[in-house]
Amino acid sequence: MKVCYILAMIVAMSVSTAALAANKAEKLFIDGNCNNCHHPTDEMVGPTLLQIADKYRGDKEAQAKLEKKVRSGGSGSWGVMPMPGTRASISNEDIKVLVTWILAQKEKPKTPEKSDTKSDKTAK
């Protein structure tokens, strides 16, 4: 009985830890003004978070590359528009959390569209 209780507590804490990390990253995304140029799925001035995650998916050095890019800024990866560096008040640990969250973005499954028509066939 105690084992089941302990396992339930571990599962609950791991789920809430993941949710807290996502909430922290989303807050950093907004507080760091990243949302002025980036959006999770809709293209704005900069690439979407999903485009960034897709570009670097499978790149073992992506975390370090993007942490450096977020800290220092730069241009050329997505066109000529430069990305400003992050304020010094945002810690390297916060940038690590943010980049981890960005790289974890995955496309949400699309729901099939329902058709109003019953058949494409015409009566003869």
Domains and CATH numbers, the chain: 21-74+87-106 (1.10.760.10)
Helix and strand counts by DSSP (H, E) for the chain: 4, 0
Residue 81 has pLDDT above 70, yes or no: yes
- Distant-in-sequence, close-in-space partners of 62: CB < 8 Å, separation ≥ 6: 56, 103
The token duo for 62 is 């992506």
Torsion of CA 59, 99, 40, 20, to 10 degrees: 130
Write out pLDDT tens, residues 37-49.
Answer: 998 888 888 999 9
Global model pTM greater than 0.75: no
